[in-house]
Structure 1
Amino acid sequence: MRVDSLGTASGPTISWRVIECWGASISIFLQAGAFLPLILSDADGTLSESAKSMLRLPCFPVYAFTIVILIRNFPQFLTALRRNLIVPLILVLPFLSTLWSIAPPTTLRRAIGLLFCVLLSYVLAIRFTPRQLLFLLFVTLGTCSVLSVVISLVSPALASMPDGAMRGVFIHKNVLGWYAALTILVATAVLIDGTLGLRRTAFIVLAAGVICLASSGSMTAIIATSVAYCLIGFYSLLQRSSSIGRVVIVLFFIQLSLGILISLHEFLVPALEALGKDATLTGRVPLWELVDREISDRWFLGYGYQAFWTTANPEATHMWLKLGWPAPHAHNGYRDILLSFGITGMIPFVLMLPQAIRRGAVLHCHDTQYGWLWLNVLTIMILVMNLTESIFFVQNDAIFILFTAAIIMFSLYAPVVSLSRSPPRQAPSRGVASGLQIS
């Protein structure tokens, strides 16, 4: 017999669903790195070793919540594992990389943190529909954006970087920009969806997100937001088109994207130089040149999961001396995958992405009841952000958790939609024939 509430015979009861919703929301908030890192950091946003140790403590309640929910929903968890074997395979790689890592203890410790983050992604995927997850993010990220605006008015010194850029409740202006971009996407999705009945609140959250985005000055976030609105138009048009029309739209979009990427590669730096802007992309271009050399030295297996960017690595120290600043990562998620796992890790990751994007598009076009638009946009938006930032395979990071949750969700629901569209078979009931219990 399964107990669906907690409490005593004479006292109040709390349903497990309430625990799941509050636990998921608080977990996302903690993994976003709001408030606590800001309070513990110095004026310039740096964290001491003792502060970093203290920041690990809030992760343990998140890990405990994740384990409890997965144990209670173990059959659904197994279903999620079976329906996308690439995600568990990629999750094993960080642990395997300890065998060739240049810093095995660091790799193992960070691999454990990544494991729990991906397990939290499974919790979000199996216990929430896309629209329910949209509501959780709307509340959580909306709160962060609104509070960032409030704190910037009440305590400008606390909410600002030394250069005057706004960082809000986060430790750095770029982090504020990333979550402001996600807030804008989520608020826009709530406005488009209309079923949540939060249009007035959504306008407030959207305004707060725009203020945070503009005040942070994060070009990565601004570009990602622009891409997100283009993708909203693309997916909306895709849903309204016929089968042949969808093929034409997809081909046109792919060609346009490739053309833009080639143009940026060829003409971005000369254009920035002509405009008198920083042609190095804030030091990223010389960093990428040095990183590419290191990747070529260990192109097959890499240096081990997150082992390269450590003080114990002489190659990283030599690179920092050349650059004149201690780069914490490659500022490119794809390059950091190669640094960690080499081509061995990049191949399954690249194979997973087209499959996830295709499944998400199919769900958006044929399964309209759950609201798949924002998850499709989120997935590609994060892919774009990783062109100039490193978010892939980052432990205790809400953005990577959401990215992985989206991919798992696509895998979970896509087979059900395929069966329901097959004429010879009777459409299975949602969540029962598929092995899911989404309430």
Structure 2
Amino acid sequence: MEKGSLYSHKRTFYLAISSTCFCILFLSFNPRETIQVSIYLTATTLFGLYIATRYSLEEQIDLLVWMYGIVIILSIIFAVLPPRYGIESGVHLGAFRGIYTHKNIFGRIMIPGAILFLLRAMSAKKDKLILWTAVIVSVIMLVLCRSTTALINYLMMLSTFFIYRTFRWRYEVMVPSILGIATIGGSFLIWLAENAETLLKSVGKDATLSGRTDFWPFLWEMIYKRPQLGYGFGAFWNPNPYGGGPNTYIVRAAGWEVPSAHNGFIELLLTLGIVGFSMYVIGFTINLIKAIRFTRNSYTIESLWPLLFLTYNILANISESGLFEQNSIFWVLYTTICFSFVSLPRKYSRT
């Protein structure tokens, strides 16, 4: 494709996104809240852009490893020193939450850290002992936080890490290997579906995912009422202060103060409707293809990171909301990875 044609397509795509955002702003259920959230979201996106343009992929991973190292140290301090803020009280008594406000938040944020420590530990020429210690400590913390979802997601990410390494094999070896893995994985998923209720009960959970699926049908009802462009950024859960809002119905129907959809895809439909959701899916698919190509054509362990994070971004949003959120480390990492594909260094490519 010629450059002029490429730029024309990009310009059309970004114009469509801008037009959609403009419509969402003025058709929002709560325009004031939408404007405020949009400003925060723009700032979060620009921060991701800055990291992508300022640092190489290897430097980004180094920064994240340092960040997660600080998180581990501070979390231990918060858990050990009085008043032991890092340990949950009340309903989740004894669960580890570190420097975060809830054990599930800690588990969700810590999983990328555990994966990054593993990537760096496998490739580092020095400080291997420290890095492997960080891997072990982060896994122990995931167990101590007692978040079943976080532990399952980590095990799934660990599995995908080894699966994605097969993408670098020769086609005559890679294709049969992937087919074999897909067959085994499909059989396992069928078995899992048939025994889901028993397995969930064994870990103290139920088929409703701790009550999440109970109110999802009510959220779908609200989506059907404004399917095209949704309710606007931040408008659904923060309704117009002068009257009741759409979340009032959800609270009454669910019987408790539901703070979010607890599903990133449903949340995105509530926020941006089918139009915005479709644009996100298109953008995500494009970046996923780029990540697969990058993994296939590179030779370093670290170059698996973009594909691993995009995979985790899907897993994490099955039972939690955070696919498209302001002031979120996950949106920063997503935008950083997306913008990084524009200028990834040649040293990651095979020669």
1:372 lines up with 2:300 in the alignment? no
Residue 413 of structure 1 aligns to a residue in which SS? coil
Structure 1 position 168, deviation (Å): 1.0
Residue matched to 1:238: 167
Is contact 1:299–1:338 with CA below 8 Å preserved after alignment? yes
When normalised by structure 1's length, the TM-score is 0.69
- From 48, 54, 66, the equivalent of 1:139 is 66
- From 181, 184, 189, the equivalent of 2:111 is 181
1:225 alignment partner AA: Y
Farther-moved stretch of structure 1 (244-253 vs 312-321)? 244-253
Task: Report Cα offsets for 1:347-402 as digits up to 9, x if no partner.
Answer: 12112223212211221222335831122211111211011111111101112210
Percent identity reads 24
Residue 395 of structure 1 aligns to a residue in which SS? coil
Structure 1 position 316, deviation (Å): 0.7
1:113 lines up with 2:113 in the alignment? no
Residue matched to 1:123: 50
Gaps of 5+ in 1: 1-78, 422-426, 428-439
Gaps of 5+ in 2: 1-5
Q: CA RMSD in A?
A: 3.2
Task: Report Cα offsets for 1:116-150 as digits up to 9, x if no partner.
Answer: 11111111112222211111000011110222123
2:66 alignment partner AA: V
- In 2, the alpha carbon distance for the partners of 1:187 and 1:276 equals 30
Residue matched to 2:216: 288
Farther-moved stretch of structure 1 (369-378 vs 335-344)? 369-378
1:304 lines up with 2:249 in the alignment? no
When normalised by structure 2's length, the TM-score is 0.85
Is contact 2:120–2:302 with CA below 8 Å preserved after alignment? no
Q: 1:95 to 1:249 in 2, by over 3 A?
A: farther
Structure 1 position 161, deviation (Å): 2.2
Is contact 2:264–2:323 with CA below 8 Å preserved after alignment? yes
Q: 1:89 to 1:404 in 2, by over 3 A?
A: farther
- From 222, 231, 238, the equivalent of 2:151 is 222
Q: 1:274 to 1:367 in 2, by over 3 A?
A: closer
- From 316, 321, 337, the equivalent of 1:406 is 337
Is contact 2:119–2:301 with CA below 8 Å preserved after alignment? no
- In 2, the alpha carbon distance for the partners of 1:259 and 1:336 equals 31
Is contact 2:148–2:203 with CA below 8 Å preserved after alignment? no
Count of residue pairs brought into register by the alignment = 339
Residue matched to 2:88: 161
Q: 1:144 to 1:91 in 2, by over 3 A?
A: farther
- In 1, the alpha carbon distance for the partners of 2:220 and 2:188 equals 22
Structure 1 position 310, deviation (Å): 1.8
Structure possessing the higher relative contact order (Cα contacts under 8 Å, 6 or more residues apart):
2
